[in-house]
Structure 1
Amino acid sequence: MSETNLQDWVGRTSTAFETADGERAARLATLLGHDGDPAAPLFPLGHWLHFSEDDVPMSDLGADGHTALGGFMPPVPLPRRMGAGSKLEFHAPILPGQTIERTTTIESITEKTGSTGPLCFVVLRHEITADGKPATTDRHTIVYREATSVPEGSAAKPPRPDSLAPEGWDWTRSVRPNEVMLFRYSALTFNSHRIHYDHPYVTEVEGYPGLVTHGPLTATLLLDAFKSTHPEAAVTGYRFTAKSPLFANEQIHLVGRETEPGVHELQAVAPGGKTAIAATVVTKS
């Protein structure tokens, strides 16, 4: 795929420090429709509000709004990037005001050929501590692919029509992220990827029909729906895989069911019934 040996990047590490921000966490709660409490422990995925990859000078950003490759991240010669999922373990809550340290290791780089052409999967292992004690382990997978051929003009299409919620689940919640929610989530996470806010770019350059709903936002909505229906459950693990993209103003059905004691299957279901995100939640027995 490339004359550069991408495997030279495997094992590289980077460490960053921040202070857990209760105000930022409260804004996430507001985004999710709750009363935000700046003194409350961070949402289990609250570390995503910190350590933004795009927190670099403007000159260090690529054309898509993300940090240009070739520094800490390997110079993958594929221009399109999407999050493929994460596997998280929660060791202890993060409290506002704690010093949080994230050590990131490039765990693996795997090049493959899929139905759409060459792909490259990069797995990052994030070890997060709070005041020196283990808090969260997050193995995050990023996939890079070739650019899509976009017909002259724009690939813009209206949102897909709503469909009925799937049956056979213990609980169901429906949400409809719009442009404002996508903007606010990008602002909270300092995510400058243009597919989430730049309609001409996402439809005319990347070939999507509309603004792409952040995978982490959908994963957050899904876990929040689980926690709302299981308020006493102590979540110790969360694993999710992105299957297909979702777009602004589309209805998403969030569903879940217990498959065995302490293990729950979750899905974010796109219009038409296709699974957009498949997830598993593990709770303390």
Structure 2
Amino acid sequence: MSETNLQDWAGRSATATETADGERAARLATLLGHDGDPAAPLFPLGHWLHFSEDDVPMSELGADGHAALGGFMPPVPLPRRMWAGSDLTFHAPILPGQTIERTTTIESITEKTGSTGRLCFVVLRQELTADGRPATTDRHTIVYREATSVPDGSAAKPPRTDSPAPAGWDWSRSVRPNEVMLFRYSALTFNSHRIHYDHPYVTEVESYPGLVTHGPLTATLLLDAFMSTHPEAAVTGYRFTAKSPLFANEQIHLVGRETESGTHELQAIAPGGKTAIAATVTTKN
């Protein structure tokens, strides 16, 4: 990789505008198992339903289904990409019908070498306003990595075996995202990344054992579980880091506990007890 070339993209900014869509927000509520109200404020992560990065002509999509790199995003020459995490601050709710303006700045581009080979981390800082007032700051990280070898035939495997809910948490909830939920979330966010719906591709090309559950979907399920158990709390911040992937039809334990007043530790735990997502929520009661 040429560091000089990639660093030319650092500091670039782009601004886009959309109208907050109450119907889309209501469909997310339905996906989460709630009654959807098109007039209700957007879920704190509801801006992810807007400004899809894959909303480009078919001719501008890469082999993985994502928008090809080299336009606004740096042309990282590593073929695999994942959402590594976000650090969000919520300034004010977004209401249906409001004009949302998002300014995205490429904050940093960092190349590293890990146990799986070369990695590149791209940090995007997104500032969102609703009708001109600050609404959400979302600093999110994308990681790019090298391709892995695929066993002869396919890397497909059945879902991992369920494991008991872990002890030591204030609350827990279990979910099992399936192919239909993954499809619906991809449709809501206009996410065309093939790892979430194309089983031959994800197992024979990217060497995963099955369809990958979206990191943002798991992060949404985790925050929704917290909000359902703390209906009186006003969420002011949410930070999460993806530790390991989850796959369709696997049981996920969503757990949380208060670490100090107004701060809660959350985790999404994979079969076998491994942490898939580690998160922190801050609240104003």
Given the two structures, how large is their TM-score scaled by the length of structure 1? 0.99
Paired positions, count:
285
Runs of 4+ in 1 over 4 A off after TM superposition: none
1:178-200 Cα distance to aligned partner (Å, 9 max, x none): 00000000000000000000000
Q: Deviations over 1:248-284 (max 9, x none)?
A: 0000000000000000000000000000000000001
The 8 Å contact of residues 104 and 125 in structure 1, kept in 2 or not, is answered as: yes
Alignment partners' CA distance in 1, 2:167 and 2:152 = 41
1:26 aligns with 2:26: yes
Give the superposition deviation at 1:4.
5.5
* RMSD (CA atoms): 0.7
Contact preservation (8 Å) 1:100, 1:129: yes
Displacement of 1:152 in angstroms is 1.7
Instruction: Please give the alpha-carbon distance, in whole angstroms, between the structure 2 residues aligned to 1:185 and 1:130.
Output: 23
Aligned equivalents of 1:20, 1:68: Cα separation in 2: 26
Per-residue CA deviation, residues 109-140 of structure 1 (Å, 9 max, x unaligned), is 00000001000000000100000000000001
Deviations 1:160-180 (A, max 9, x none): 000000000000000000000
The residue number in structure 1 matching 2:41 is 41
CA offsets 1:54-95 (integer angstroms, 9 cap, x no match)? 000000000000000000000001000000000000000000
**2:19, 2:278 → 1: CA distance?**
32
Report if the CA contact (8 A) 1:98-1:130 is conserved.
yes
1:61 matched residue in structure 2: 61
Sequence identity of aligned pairs in percent?
A: 91
Structure 1 pair 120–230 and aligned structure 2 pair: CA distance change class (3 A): same
- TM-fit CA distance, 1:5: 1.6
8 Å contact kept, 1:2–1:77:
no
Deviation at 1:3, TM superposition (A): 6.9
Q: Measure the CA separation in 2 of the matches of 1:243 and 1:78.
A: 20
In structure 1, list runs of 5 or more residues that go unmatched: none
TM-score by length of 2: 0.99
Counterpart-to-counterpart distance in 1, 2:197 and 2:272:
24
User: Structure 2 matches for 1:107-256, cutoff 5 A?
Assistant: 107-256=107-256
C-alpha distance in structure 2 between counterparts of 1:219 and 1:150, whole Å: 28
Deviation at 1:43, TM superposition (A): 0.1
